[in-house]
Structure formats: C-alpha cells, structure tokens
Amino acid sequence: MNLSEHHHHIHYIEFTAADLNVTKAFYSSVFGWQFQDWGPDYISFEQAGVAGGFQRGQPVRGAGALVVLFSTNLEATEAAVRAAGAPILKPIFLFPGGRRFHFADPGGNELAMWGE
C-alpha cells in the first residue's frame, strides 16, 4: 500500500459500544459488515467503505461527527434497521442531495443513511 496516496484522507473511524457482541450482530445482519475480534474490548470492521472499529465503552452523547452511509434502496434499508431493533431518530426526509434517515445503533451512536 502506498500510504502517500492516503495523505489527509479519512482512513479509519472508531465508535464506542457497551456490548460488542450486540453491535457485531447488528452491523453484520443489517449491512453485511465483517468483524475481527482484538481481545475483549475491541473489534474492527471491514466491508463498510472505510475501515473502523468499536471500543468497549459508553458512547459520548451530544454533538459530534455524523457518519453517513449510502443505500440504493432507502426504504428497504430503513425497514432492515427497524427489524434489527434500532430506533429511527429521523424518518426518511428530503435534503438537498437526496433523501435520508437517521438511526441509533445498539450502542447509541447516531448514524444516517442516504439515497437518491
């Protein structure tokens, strides 16, 4: 890997999660992400467009970066998120780039999903 190609690019994203097994099950079943365990307090993920991980802990509430995922079928993805038990924080709405919704993962992290 030529690391100079990645200079100033977002390379890795980390979240916190109280229960890593629940988190892994949610993201695997809804989005197809693959995980690797790194001891009892950390898991990393792939197949998400950017690599990242979850550290065992309590998510920080309040302002922070919003991670936005993409879906080719927003309604189906929203239904899958609901079926997996994640709360929808903002149902599908229009914004200047298309449509999106916000949800909370099992650890309480807020993410958004957008589509055209």
pLDDT in tens, 14-45: 999 999 999 999 999 999 999 999 999 999 99
Distance, in Å, from the CA atom of 98 to the CA atom of 15, rounded to the nearest integer, reads 26
What is the rounded distance in angstroms from the CA atom of residue 116 to the CA atom of residue 97? 7
Model confidence band, residue 10 (pLDDT cutoffs 50, 70, 90):
confident
Measuring CA to CA, how many Å separate 67 from each of 1, 12, 15, 39, 61? 25, 12, 10, 25, 14
All domains of the chain, ordered by start, with CATH? 11-115 (3.10.180.10)
pTM: 0.86
> Helices in the chain by DSSP H: which ranges?
20-31, 74-83
Encode pLDDT of 37-80 as tens digits. Answer: 999 999 999 999 899 999 999 876 666 788 999 999 999 999 99
